[in-house]
Amino acid sequence: MQGQALPLAVVDLDAFDRNVAHVGQLVGRRTSQMRVRVASKSLRVPDLLRRVLAYGPPYAGVMCYAAAEAVLLYQAGFDDLLVAYPTRQPADLNALREIHEQGATVHLVVDSLDGTEQIARAMAGVTRPFSLIIEADVSYRPLRGRVHIGVRRSPLRTVEAVVDLVVSARRFETICIGGVMAYEAQVAGVGDRSPFRRHLNPILRALRQRSASDVARRRQRLAQMLESAGSPPLIFNGAGTGSLTYACDEPWLTELTAGSAFLCPHLFDYYSNITFEPALFFALQCVRRSDADHATCFGGGYVASGQPGCDKLPLPYLPQGLTLVDNEGAGEVQTPLRADGPLALRIGDPVIFRHAKAGELAERFSHYQLVTNDAIVGSVPTYRGLGACFG
């Protein structure tokens, strides 16, 4: 870090590669059929996406979060692009149609008949049907649905509703149903070993386990019913970093998704079922020493999305023993830190942090520095560095 202008974002390629290999072995060990699609939102750096895919099987394909992003990636040489978040915006549908007509393998997620119909109309005149992926809701809804544990995304809550949509979609000639997606956010996105709300950990662990079994049962039934309806899914996508260890035992899934696993932001330290190595860091400059046990850094207010809470703040990492100050948190342009012992930091010294989530740091930096064996060996542009911003 000596001599580098701060702030700086850094990827430890050695840890990154070990995380890639770890997921590859975890999934590859169970079955050679299962693929892993890379979640681009958790990287937002084409060169890192490319690095994961270069590992080879089980990695194949990208889960994109925006239509314009799929276009950027296609133009950068990527293919097999699944846009996993619905859009009906004409500009998005036109952009997807354009790369589809250029020969891209691209899929768009949909969760309703009217959405399907609108996309079918937007695809009028295509030379081959455009592929849609139907998203099933697999939230955990005990007590006959009176309790909802999970995200609010697809309204398709039953296996029957999904099969109905698959069958109804057969009438549209300009689209085809490429498969289904059923993402269990309440298992994949909820840690059960959090230091921020310890009292909830046993409850969350039980809920995750119960929900993982419920999701597996429902996904198996969906696969069987689609088969019986004459539409076995070519793609059946499920899971995320936090649920890989459960979902890799579901042979009816054709692919799992992983993104956060590779950079391992600090929220992914708090899972009882997975272990990855931190690979993404940012370094801030110590610019002030207001007190003997305090240092203030320039920048740092890189707070993660989701339900607001302390767990969404960056985590001071090195030197050890530093914590954010309660009444300031991570500041807009300055971040004070308190030390739990003598503090040897001098003005100009770097302080290393970890972000709570994997992808969002890329919105703050135009480049990530690549480190191997503790030396900077290169620099790669983030989406921001490429002038791209997808929301």
Integer Cα distance of 24 and 346 in angstroms: 42
What token pair was written down for 169?
């979609």
**Do 383 and 44 contact (CB within 8 A), yes or no?**
yes
C-beta of 238: minimal distance to ligand PLP in Å? 8
Least Å distance, CB 37 to ligand PLP, is 8
Q: Which is nearer to ligand PLP, 7 or 86 (CB)?
A: 86
**Start-end of H helices in the chain:** 13-30, 46-53, 67-75, 90-101, 113-122, 159-168, 185-188, 201-228, 244-247, 260-263
Q: Three-state DSSP class for 303?
A: coil
Backbone Cα Rg of the chain: 22
Minimum gap (Å) between residue 259 Cβ and ligand PLP = 3
Please confirm whether the linkage preceding 7 is cis (ω < 30° from 0).
yes
Tokens 């998704």 sit on residue: 257
Alpha-carbon distance 339 to 296, whole Å?
11
Residue closest to ligand PLP when measured from CB atoms: 240
Q: Which is nearer to ligand PLP, 51 or 322 (CB)?
A: 51
Between 183 and 281, name the residue whose CB sits nearer to ligand PLP: 183
Q: How far is the CB of 39 from ligand PLP (least distance, A)?
A: 4
In the complex, the smallest distance separating the C-beta of residue 26 from ligand PLP, rounded to whole angstroms, is 13
Residue 299 phi, psi (nearest 5): 85, -165
Q: List residues binding ligand PLP (CB under 6 A).
A: 39, 42, 84, 183, 188, 240-241, 257-261, 358
Return the bridge partners of 110, or none. Answer: 134
Q: How far is the CB of 280 from ligand PLP (least distance, A)?
A: 12
**Would you state the structure tokens that stand for residue 257, as one six-digit string?**
């998704």
Asked if residue 364 lies in contact with residue 314, where contact means CB atoms within 8 angstroms, the answer is: no
Q: Quick one: 62 or 163, whose CB is closer to ligand PLP?
A: 62
For ligand PLP, the closer of residues 107 and 284 by Cβ is 107
CA-nearest of 225, 252, 224, 226 to 238 is 252
Closest separation between CB of residue 261 and ligand PLP, Å?
A: 6
Return the number of the residue (138 or 286) whose C-beta is nearest ligand PLP: 138
In the complex, minimum distance from the CB of residue 312 to ligand PLP, in angstroms, rounded to a whole number: 15
Please say which residue, 140 or 172, places its beta carbon nearer to ligand PLP.
Answer: 140
Beta strand pairing status for 315-318 and 350-354? antiparallel
The C-alpha atoms of residue 173 and residue 357 are separated, in whole angstroms, by 41
369 strand-pairing partners: 10, 379
Nearest approach in angstroms of CB 369 to ligand PLP is 22
d(CA 237, CA 241): 13
Name the residue nearer to ligand PLP (CB basis): 24 or 299: 24
Give 41 or 337: the residue with its C-beta nearer to ligand PLP. Answer: 41
